Structure 1
């Protein structure tokens, strides 16, 4: 029995050793299979990625020289003066017509007050001349009427005296003819002569009175010429008032320009001044832009420009926003290469020429995305080459 038990134990030990040896032999084979499968999978992934890359390279055009752009406006002052307050800081949003910078306006206000006083003085002067014109008009009308009546009376007196003078002359003529005949006495002749002389003197006196009356009438009428002078002075006040009004309008404009306001809804990019600084006309004060109106400015190789015609839809990826893609539309293609605007052009005078692919500017319109597209951000463009 013991021998049989030993044989059974020996047989079990041999079977266990054989099984262990078999498992140990199959483990390296299984590891080699897994490594082989992994290598094949990696090779397939690499081949797939390479094939996809080659497909993209042949069917798409990529541009890396591109960035977000916007119309950044540099605000300056038209008038000189001291900065009193700066109402905004860099990066702050501002509404249209919101106050950005205030410039000292005391001198402008004083100038407006001075011009207002001068304009008011012009108005008072006009009222004075109007009153004088009305007064002189009434006075001269009544005076001329009186002098005209005097002239009429003098004319009537002259007519009466002349009638008496004519009668006295006729009486004297008859007496002169009758005296030689003895029909009248010498005394009667002397009497007619005296009457004729008296009538003659009365006629001269009446004529003199008429001339005096006419002179007085002319003087009264000449007094009305002062009305012309006054009306001329009154007319000259209108251009003077217009000149003062123009000066006042310019002073008001000067006062308004001492408050720098936001030209549109946007953000403040840079502030170049502080309160207390003295600025000059044209000096740059702030830089602002409208974040809702952004675009992409790209420099495209001349060999690829045919794929960026106006209206072409392109895909945009932003370096600052990985994983997001935007669609844009080509809005404009430049008509000259960027090298044409270089500060130091290269006309190649030596004859040593190296051909370099030139680039043309392209503008692409793109919609803003909650203000995340900011001017200056680098972007990449992707356009299909077979469209």
Structure 2
């Protein structure tokens, strides 16, 4: 009787055996790591949430912020050719330093002419004053002649009055009385002539005195013209109005410039400040004096600090060249931005690196005034008025 063949026994492959053997220990090793990561995520989220609740929700930030400085345009006050330029582009200067010199010869000639005019008018005054002295002597002589003529007229009238009754008695002749009357009339005419001469002498003195007053006024006018010309001579040297650095210089030697021609720009880099354009929905809790953290794009490794200084009296759209008119046509609401001026706290060396126009990310901490009271509003207003 034959024995039936036995069923083949399938042995496990080495690959499947090793995979099953290694799966369990690896998963056991990953579990603590995943658990730690989950715990870290939960803790991180909790810390972030607490930090946001305590600090983050009070931070208002914007990247629409740029450094600025109140630059001054350097321009001459007089016309002339540039003869010398004392500064180089980007050079630091102090207030009062000479920047540009213009040709001053024509103004010096005008100054000499004004001085000569003053001297001429002073000579006119001296001559007129001498004429007044002479005319006063003539006036005194005329008055003496008037007095003498008055005495002669009085004597002639007395003679006429004395001899007139004698004619009726026949003690004297009519011819004698006629001669006396003729003498009296001549005395009257002489007195009138002397009185006219006296009036003419007095009038001439007044006329000469008026000429003296006119000459003195001309001296004052010439003196004012001399002062103006002196200022013009001084203005041929264009000086720095403030401390700063030279920027955008376009002046060249030999260039003809007119009053108001822009020669260069003087930038007060030591007085740089920040203007951040916050959305209108961000300024509700902002107040002057709040701390600010600044991140300058050009200086990524540095964190600067400052404080809110003031707010613009209107949104940026109010001061645009073409303000928007929302009362016409269809309306689409657009969030407005309010320029906020921020004082930058930095030393002199750092301010040399803070150039106007650089982009800045600004973060304002509004926690101090998150819930302003009426008393804080009053103190804030007093601070602004002060």
Q: TM-score, normalization: structure 1?
A: 0.75
Offset of 1:78 from its aligned partner?
Answer: 2.9
1:153-172 superposed matches below 5 A: 153-167=152-166, 169-172=167-170
Kindly provide the CA deviation profile for residues 204-245 of structure 1, in whole angstroms up to 9, marking residues without a partner as x.
232133123313322331332211221222222233333333
> 1:41 Cα shift?
7.9
Match in the other structure for 1:25: none
Q: Partner residue of 1:315? A: 293
Unmatched segments (≥5 aa) in structure 1: 1-28, 173-191
| Residues 1:324 and 2:322 are matched in the alignment | no
Matched, 1:379 2:378: no
- In structure 2, C-alpha distance between the alignment counterparts of 1:41 and 1:104, rounded to whole Å: 82
Structure 1 residue 100: deviation in Å?
1.1
Are the counterparts in 2 of residues 71 and 290 from structure 1 also a CA contact under 8 Å?
yes
Q: Any idea what SS the aligned residue of 1:292 has?
A: helix
- State the partner residue of 2:275: 297
Aligned to 1:197: 174
Once the two structures are TM-superposed, the CA of residue 263 in structure 1 deviates from its matched residue by 1.1
C-alpha distance in 2 between matches for 1:304 and 1:110: 63
Cα 1:327–1:130 shift into 2, 3 Å: same
Matched, 1:279 2:257: yes
Match runs of 1:262-277 below 5 Å? 262-277=240-255
**Quick check: 1:249 aligned with 2:230?**
no
Deviation at 1:307, TM superposition (A): 4.0
Using the TM superposition, give the Cα deviation of residue 67 of structure 1 relative to its aligned residue in structure 2, in angstroms.
Answer: 2.2
Q: CA deviation at 1:141?
A: 0.2
Deviation at 1:287, TM superposition (A): 0.7
Indicate how the Cα distance of structure 1 residues 110 and 356 shifts in structure 2: closer, same or farther if over 3 A, else same.
Answer: same
Instruction: Give the aligned partner of residue 230 of structure 1.
Output: 208
Q: Distance in 2 between matches of 1:46 and 1:262?
A: 60
- Give 1:352 deviation, angstroms: 8.1
Matched, 1:100 2:103: no
- Deviation string, structure 1 residues 71-91 (Cα, Å, up to 9, x no partner): 111122232221111111122
Q: Deviation of residue 268 (structure 1)?
A: 1.6
- 2: CA distance, partners of 1:356 / 1:86: 50
Distance 1:347 1:158 in 2: 101
What secondary structure sits across from 2:100 in the alignment?
Answer: strand
Paired with 1:334 and 1:311, the residues of 2 have a C-alpha distance of: 15
Structure 2 segments unaligned to the other structure (5+ residues):
1-24, 369-386
How far did residue 291 of structure 1 move? 2.5
Alignment match of 1:216 (pick from 183, 193, 198): 193
Q: Tell me the equivalent position of 1:75.
A: 74
Residue aligned with 2:263, SS: strand
2:305–2:346 Cα contact (<8 Å) kept: no
2-side partners of 1:220 and 1:284: how far apart? 68
Shift of 1:97: 1.3
Aligned residues: 334
1: distance between equivalents of 2:178 and 2:323? 111
Describe the shift of the 1:282–1:238 C-alpha distance in structure 2 as closer, same or farther (beyond 3 A): same
Aligned pair in 2 of structure 1 residues 297, 46: CA closer, same or farther (>3 Å)?
farther
Q: CA deviation at 1:347?
A: 5.7
Question: TM-score w.r.t. structure 2 length?
Answer: 0.75
Paired with 1:149 and 1:101, the residues of 2 have a C-alpha distance of 76
Aligned-pair CA distance for 1:47: 7.3
